[in-house]
Amino acid sequence: MREEEVHSPLTTASPDTALLVTPSRRVRPTPLGNKGVLMAALIVAAWAGLLAYLLAFYEPNWRTPWPYLLALLQMHLYTGLFITAHDAIGTLTAGLFAFNWFPRMLPKHHAHHRHVGTEADPDFHDGRHPGFLFWFVRFAWNYVTVAQVLLMALTYNVLKLFFPQANVIAFWMVPAVLATLQLFYFGTYLPHRGEHAPDNPHKSRSQLRQHIWAFVSCYFFGYHYEHHDQPYLPWWRLWRAKEAAS
């Protein structure tokens, strides 16, 4: 894949050893063809297939680690749904994740990219409470709607008519909540917290180059400076941008 050099910030004002800003070389955009649809279909199929199995057939033994590991796997697939929606696959994958409404998410996320780290950024803290908890509450308040909560409550009460209540809670509800925390922590809080150098236009920083952990933690969105610098890249190509910057 061809690359072209661009000028990017070299430093960050926050001495965070786990999150760095490095010189960037942009990965040239290339047509995705059917690859984007295939990647989205694989994530949706894996999420739906595992969820169906866990709700309808799985009998968890809570004294073993397996149900907890499966819940974490389902959490990871929930995160994949949101990342897929983020990459503009859109309404279907957004809705499968706790009934998010893509037409409402789209302008807010564009506002985040245009006004990152300012009062006009819906993903940013209020300027007075930069800690994790208050920031997360504000973040959730800007995105979660009453309609979502009501639809989740309705769906929960329908699902428990057909499947064991413990399974519904452990494998449908809890993974969605954990995935929300995962997305916020790795995709918003860590990259945008603290001070940034004046020459950092994206007010973002990135994880160190550890591709396996970057995928497991948040589908490479820990490479967040690269995402803001090259927002046209789908999630599975962000590692290339990190390689180019190294």
| CA nearest neighbour of 83 among 43, 120, 56, 111 | 43
Write out pLDDT tens, residues 65-85.
Answer: 999 999 999 999 999 999 999
The reported pTM is 0.87
146 phi, psi to nearest 5 deg? -60, -40
Domain range for 128 is 3-245
* Per-residue model confidence (pLDDT) at position 16: 44
* Per-residue model confidence (pLDDT) at position 24: 55
* Per-residue model confidence (pLDDT) at position 157: 98
* Per-residue model confidence (pLDDT) at position 136: 96
* Per-residue model confidence (pLDDT) at position 65: 98
Write out pLDDT tens, residues 174-184.
Answer: 999 999 999 99
* Per-residue model confidence (pLDDT) at position 244: 85
* Per-residue model confidence (pLDDT) at position 5: 38
Write out pLDDT tens, residues 139-173.
Answer: 999 999 999 999 999 999 999 999 999 999 999 99
* Per-residue model confidence (pLDDT) at position 31: 74
Residue 12 has pLDDT above 50, yes or no: no
Axis crossing angle, helix 102-114 with helix 66-86, rounded to the nearest 10: 70
pLDDT mean over 43-67:
98
Q: Cβ distance 207 to 214 under 8 Å?
A: yes
CA dist 20 and 75 (Å) reads 27
| CA nearest neighbour of 57 among 49, 46, 68, 65 | 49
> Percentage of the chain surpassing pLDDT 70?
89
* Per-residue model confidence (pLDDT) at position 19: 59
Write out pLDDT tens, residues 196-236.
Answer: 888 899 999 999 999 999 999 999 999 999 999 999 999 99
Q: Which residues contact 98 (CB under 8 A, 6 or more apart)?
A: 148, 152, 176, 180
Structural tokens at position 137: 């509450």
Residue 245: burial class (beta carbons within 10 Å; 0-12, 13-18, 19+): buried
CA dist 178 and 13 (Å) reads 30
What is the number of domains present in the chain? 1
Residue 25 has pLDDT above 90, yes or no: no
| CA nearest neighbour of 206 among 5, 29, 16 | 16
* Per-residue model confidence (pLDDT) at position 15: 39
Q: Where are the beta strands (DSSP E) in the chain?
A: 3-5, 19-20, 25-27, 206-207
Write out pLDDT tens, residues 99-155.
Answer: 999 899 999 999 999 999 989 999 999 888 899 999 999 999 999 999 999 999 999
* Per-residue model confidence (pLDDT) at position 26: 76
Hey, which residues does 5 pair with through a beta bridge? 25
